[in-house]
Structure 1
Amino acid sequence: MKIIKIRHPYNPADIPTEEVVLVLGFFDGVHRGHQKVIKTGKAVAEEKGLKLAVMTFTNHPSIVFHKVGASEMQYLTTLPQKEALMEWLGVDYLYEVEFTSTFAHLSPQTFVDQYIVGLHAQVAVSGFDYTYGPREIADVAHLPEYAKGRFEIVTVEKESDEGAKISSSRIRELLGEGNMEEANHLLGYPYTISGLVIHGEARGRLLGYPTANVNFSRYARLPMEGVYVCQLQVGDTWYEAMGSIGHNDTFGEGRQLTMEINILDFHEEIYGETVNVRWLHLIRNQVKFNSAEELIDRLKQDEEETRAYFA
């Protein structure tokens, strides 16, 4: 897969000249609904003997339109994660467009001329709710008007689960409830957070449960605070683990939020490693214990539940 980064206005010489099927969307999470759209584009591309291209954005449009602050925006997937998922889905070209204020104010006709026709799309594929400007004049119903017969249009209807649309916002709500089974079901893969293993307070080691302290992106959407069954990837190997997201209130109020992973039957030093953490099942909510001994007793129970989950 070739990644092509675009900042408006782009140089046409930077765009591959071959004709493509172009799939449009932001695709945060690349969940099952998004996968349906991309797989539809893949099927059309194979039928027509064309390359499959996807156009997405490096930041969410809500930031430019002041619907949410940049510091408040949280993503289900980082850009590298999104790239890996796109490659997994068989995308040939991934266009990553910087969603700037200048780009945001393109007229619908200019957007179509430069970012669909200009990317040599013979077919444009999108979800039913895709917009490229104000909804009342730039939704999929208006696209034929701007296309002027220069490319085919394929619109993919919503993907539902138990009667409700699969959406990034719905998955965020499930993460906020700690409902990893349902969130992972809608994603189509285990929810994963990446980060660098850094030195912490080493308190877990003193308790008999040494942990990898994972420094996560402030833009990552974390599951609800709690203790979870997890898997942690170091290099190419996935290890069974239990993970904690919380403030360690047992040892004092007002502490920094941390993500700490205890890897079962693992005794290596992994400081400085970039790891991936899959979140599989909520064991319990975070609790402030009365003593370290009380916490250790509960951690033993958490470990038993984790081992039982994998067994």
Structure 2
Amino acid sequence: MKVIYLHHPYQKKNIPAQDVVLALGFFGGVHLGHQAVITQARLEATKRKLPLAAMTFDHHPAVVFPARHVDGVHYLTSVERKAALMADLGVDILYVVSFTSSFAHLTPQDFVDQYIVALHARAVVAGFDYTYGPRDEANMAKLPQYAQKRFDIVEVPEFLLDGQKVSSTQIREDLENSDVDHANSFLGYHYQTDGLVVHGEARGRTLGFPTANVLSDPWVRIPGIGIYAVRIKIGGKWWKGMASIGRNVTFGDNRPITIEINIFDFDQEIYGETVSVEWFHYLRGEIKFAGADELIDQLHQDERNIREYFAQLNL
């Protein structure tokens, strides 16, 4: 897959000359609803024997216009992670547009002319709620008037799972509430974050449970406080483990939130490694124990529970 970064106003020489089918969306999380859009676009591209292109943004519009977003900006996917998911879904070209003030000031007609027609889109595929400007002026119902019959339009309906709308908003709420299990059901895959392994307090080693302390990308959302069944990718290989997101309240109050992962059957130093973490299952909340002995007993039980969980998955 080719990734093309566009900064408004972009240079036309950066746009491949061939016609494409173009999927539109922010695609935060590339969840099941987004996958439905891209799958439909892939079908259109195959039918027309054209490459499939998709357009997203390098950051959320809320970075430029904070008043539009009340939840803060913590992405479900980095641009790199989004690109990897798009490639897996068969996207041939990914346009990553820099959402700047000058881009935001485009009229709906300018957006259509410069970011659909000028990208050689023969057909556009987007979700029913896609907007490209003010919602009452730049929605899917009004897209035909701006298109002026220069490209076809395919609108993908709302995606429901067990009667619930699959949305990035709900997934963010699930993660905030530590419910990675439900978030994963909406994503269609296990939620993943990346981070750098850094030195911590080394307390886990003294307890018999050495941990990798992972410094996560501050722009990417991490699950809420709790104990989780995870897999961690180190140097191309996945390892099972148990992760703690919390403040280590047994050892003091008002401590910072950290991500610590005890990797099963693993005994190597990995400081400085960039790792990926897949969040499989929420096990329990953080508990303030009376002392280290009670904590160690609970950690042994957590390990048994998580190993049993993975065994049931045949992983």
Same fold (TM > 0.5): yes
CA distance, structure 1, for counterparts of residue 165 and residue 117 of structure 2: 30
Matched with 1:264 is: 264
Q: Please name the residue that 1:96 is paired with.
A: 96
> What whole-Å deviation, never above 9, does each CA across 1:43-101 have from its counterpart, x for those lacking one?
10011010000000011112222226899310111111101101111111100001111
Task: Tell me what 1:281 maps to.
Answer: 281
| Residue of structure 1 in register with 2:105 after alignment | 105
Q: Secondary structure at the match of 2:114?
A: helix
Contact kept, 8 Å, 1:72 with 1:219, in 2: the verdict is: no
Structure 2: gaps spanning 5 or more residues: none
In structure 1, the partner of 2:298 is 298
Contact 1:231–1:240 (8 Å) recurs in 2: yes
Instruction: Indicate if the aligned counterparts of 1:197 and 1:274 stay in contact, CA closer than 8 A.
Output: yes
Partner SS state of residue 222, structure 1:
coil
Compute the RMSD of aligned alpha carbons. 1.4
Q: What do the CA deviations read for 1:254-307 (whole angstroms, capped 9, x no partner)?
A: 222110110111111111111111111111101111211111111111111111
Q: Please, what TM-score do these two structures have when normalized by structure 1?
A: 0.97
Percent identity between the two aligned chains: 54
Q: Does 1:146 align with 2:146?
A: yes
Paired with 1:79 and 1:18, the residues of 2 have a C-alpha distance of 24
Return the letter of the residue paired with 1:46: T
Q: Which amino acid aligns with 1:92?
A: D
C-alpha distance in structure 2 between counterparts of 1:236 and 1:68, whole Å: 39
Deviations 1:148-170 (A, max 9, x none): 01001110001101212100011
In 1, distance between residues paired with 2:145 and 2:227?
A: 52
- CA–CA distance in 1 between the matches of 2:237 and 2:70? 34
Alignment partner, residue 32 of structure 1: 32
The Cα of 1:175 is off from its aligned counterpart by: 1.3
How far 1:235 moved relative to its partner?
1.9
What CA distance in whole angstroms lies between the structure 2 residues aligned with 1:66 and 1:132?
17
Report the Cα offset of residue 116 of structure 1. 0.2
List aligned pairs for 1:204-243, cutoff 5 A. Answer: 204-243=204-243
Is 70-79 or 206-215 further displaced after alignment?
Answer: 70-79
Q: Where does residue 192 of structure 2 map in the other structure?
A: 192
Show the 5 A alignment for 1:9-28: 9-28=9-28
The whole-number CA distance in structure 1 between the counterparts of 2:235 and 2:50 is: 35
Gaps of 5+ in 1: none
The secondary structure found in structure 2 opposite 1:28 is coil
Secondary structure of 1:278's match? strand
* TM-fit CA distance, 1:179: 1.9
In the alignment, what sits opposite 1:127?
Answer: 127
Query: Take 2:113 and 2:229, find their aligned partners in 1: how far apart are those partners?
Result: 49
- Structure 1 residues 55-74: aligned runs within 5 Å: 55-67=55-67, 72-74=72-74
Normalising by the residue count of structure 2, what TM-score does the alignment of the two structures yield? 0.96
CA distance in 2, matches of 1:72, 1:244: 23
Secondary structure of the structure 2 residue equivalent to 1:67: helix
